[in-house]
């Protein structure tokens, strides 16, 4: 950025700081790359990309955007200062915003369109003739100051830009300083590795997702059930399985058509995801049946969850009319000793719920 006294002052600030150990930095970069490419869960990967990039550059905060068409979606937000002041959940809630249009003159939008790196010492001193600008409204709302910023494209080897990494406020002994220019090439390399890992994880995610409802499919259910069973055997953690069936679903298809039936399945899936804990595993088990793995949840907790979900669905205003569900609950270790036995027990409980009149929860 600019010359004159400001440029000399920035140069002095950088010369006061210790020189970057490039050998050590490259070593760290290789290790980060190995870590990223070994992570297959998309959500975990995105958090890890931003965490590692911040640690690598000593950034106080950062945002990872994913490109979706002509928009950038806020995928991960991290800010140590605001997390201390507000707590993690509130920090995330306040920093998450509507997607950015690439047509806007934002820093992230410019990088997504051009593939350039922006390394700005002060976001409030951007000359007006630049093809990008900084919006200070979020800073004002949160009483925060975004000063130095390093913005890098997540660009794969085919030059596709999958997203943008924004690193905010480099810290040196507790004070905000510019990002060392030597980081630019290193962070671009990190971002390229991250883009490859992201592309692979997305492909893996697609193979584990149900195309209609966007929740996990039966293949993923089978794999995770075995993993959770091993965890149960090793650590003794309880595991509850809820099998859920839409009541009289065939009548919905017959009366309103398959499009209405598909929409009902999508809506139920979204309600399940919204009203389940982040570490519960929601899957479409087949047809109009869903399976929800309640990790580290005992039978009583599973019963409470199932009753709450049943009520949420019954009260939801579906476009074609009311939808109800029947739910069967079974748990390890009370109801089974193997994965197959647990599924059979939950299925039997689901059968009992339907036999007893539907729109209810039954336990094995």
Helix-helix angle 42-57:183-207, to 10 degrees: 170
Furthest C-alpha separation in the chain: 82
Task: Give CA–CA dist 167/191, Å, rounded.
Answer: 12
Q: Which two tokens stand for residue 219?
A: 């293949």
CA quadruple 46, 49, 50, 55: dihedral positive or negative?
positive
Exactly one of 122, 245, 288, 347 is catalytic; which is it? 288
Task: Give CA–CA dist 349/13, Å, rounded.
Answer: 68
The torsion angles phi and psi of 321, rounded to 5 degrees, stand at: 130, 180
Cα–Cα nearest to 186, from 61, 26, 37? 26
Q: What is the 3-state secondary structure (H, E, C) of 263-284?
A: HHHHHHHHHHHHCCCCCCEEEE
DSSP secondary structure letter of residue 238: -
Q: Are 70 and 161 in contact (CB under 8 A)?
A: no
How many C-beta neighbours within 10 Å does residue 71 have? 17
Burial 101-127 (b: 16+ CB within 10 A, else e): ebeeebbbbbbbbeeebbbbbbbeebe
Whether 288 is catalytic is yes
Cα–Cα nearest to 261, from 312, 308, 213, 221? 213
Q: Which two tokens stand for residue 300?
A: 């009583």
- What contacts 147, CB < 8 A, 6 or more positions away? 121, 122, 123, 124, 169, 176
The residues carrying an active-site annotation are: 288
């Amino acid at each position: 950025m600019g010359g004159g006294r400001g440029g000399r002052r920035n140069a002095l600030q950088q010369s006061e700081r210790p020189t970057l150990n490039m050998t050590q930095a490259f070593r760290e970069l290789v290790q980060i790359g190995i870590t990223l490419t070994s992570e297959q869960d998309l959500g975990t990967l995105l958090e890890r990309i931003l965490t590692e990039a911040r640690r690598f550059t000593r950034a106080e905060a950062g945002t990872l955007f994913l490109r979706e068409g002509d928009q950038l979606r806020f995928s991960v937000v991290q800010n140590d200062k605001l997390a201390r002041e507000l707590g993690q959940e509130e920090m995330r809630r306040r920093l998450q915003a509507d997607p950015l249009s690439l047509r806007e003159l934002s820093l992230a939008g410019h990088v997504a369109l051009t593939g350039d790196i922006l390394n700005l010492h002060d976001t409030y001193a951007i000359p007006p003739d630049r093809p990008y600008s900084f919006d200070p409204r979020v800073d004002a709302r949160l009483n925060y100051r975004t000063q130095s910023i390093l913005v890098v494209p997540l660009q794969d080897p085919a030059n596709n830009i999958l997203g943008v990494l924004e690193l905010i406020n480099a810290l040196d002994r507790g004070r905000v300083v510019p990002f060392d220019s030597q980081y630019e090439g290193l962070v671009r390399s990190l971002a390229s590795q991250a883009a490859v890992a992201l592309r692979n994880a997305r492909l893996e995610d697609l193979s584990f997702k149900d195309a209609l409802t966007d929740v996990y499919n039966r293949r993923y259910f089978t794999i995770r059930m075995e993993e959770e069973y091993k965890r149960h055997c090793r650590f003794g953690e309880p595991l509850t399985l809820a099998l859920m069936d839409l009541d009289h679903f065939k009548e919905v298809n017959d009366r309103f058509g398959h499009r209405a039936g598909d929409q009902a399945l999508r809506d139920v899936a979204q309600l399940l995801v919204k009203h389940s804990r982040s570490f519960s595993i929601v899957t479409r088990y087949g047809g109009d049946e869903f399976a929800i793995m309640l990790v580290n949840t005992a039978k009583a907790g599973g019963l409470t969850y199932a009753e709450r979900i049943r009520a949420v669905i019954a009260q939801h205003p579906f476009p074609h009319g009311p939808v109800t569900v029947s739910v069967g609950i079974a748990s390890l270790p009370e109801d089974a000793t193997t994965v197959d036995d647990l599924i059979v027990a939950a299925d039997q409980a689901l059968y009992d719920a339907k036999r007893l009149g539907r729109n209810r929860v039954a336990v094995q």
